[in-house]
Structure 1
């Protein structure tokens, strides 16, 4: 069972390389860290933040001079929560056509 402390979080981030050796092409930088339009992470807060930091460092090491990141972070203390549980909940509601809480 997952911890219900603020130590656990789910996050979605989109790394945005700005500039670089190839001009407008940023695909190689994005491929280094994530999927095309965002990456989901979950785990201890510090580990999630360190993973995002590591992506910034990797893209800078590849020669990209600037990196911006959009991040959405969720925490929950009333019960354990994970990305897979969230996906399962949506799939179950879609399958039963039940969209109410």
Structure 2
């Protein structure tokens, strides 16, 4: 069976850094995601990430590894992953398509 295309949202939570800000750690994770070649988009409480399931999970793993290598002693990550087989997803447009569809529905309310 081919690798499933995954549309994910994850929130990585560094702990034990002695600092209430996690901006440095999140910036490092964004650097890791840039190198992954996957489509991603940071938002206020996490990151949308999409691509083949194995690459998505590897990228999240690599974020953990990079932060541990920089001295973060603990990391918790909340992950939601969606897949679908009822229709073909355009790679790199999974999250955008979800948002576009809802906006279309809301636009009908304006008419």
Q: TM-score range by the shorter chain?
A: 0.7 to 0.9
Structure 2 Cα separation of the partners of residues 46 and 18 of structure 1? 26
When the two structures are aligned, how many residues end up with a matched partner?
93
Residue number in structure 2 paired with 1:63: 71
Structure 1 unaligned segments of length 5 or more: list them. none
* Separation in 2, partners of 1:93, 1:13: 26
RMSD value, Cα? 1.9
Q: Which residue of 2 aligns with 1:8?
A: 5
Q: Secondary structure at the match of 1:69?
A: strand
**Contact 2:3 2:54 (8 Å CA) reproduced:** no
CA contact under 8 A between 1:18 and 1:67: conserved in structure 2?
A: yes
Which residue matches 1:30? 26
Q: Work out which of the residue numbers 74, 79, 82 in structure 2 matches 1:74.
A: 82
- 1:18 aligned partner: 15
Q: Which moved more, 1:29-38 or 1:72-81?
A: 29-38
> Counterpart of 1:44?
52
TM-score (norm 1): 0.81
Shift of 1:14: 0.2
Normalising by structure 2, what TM-score? 0.75
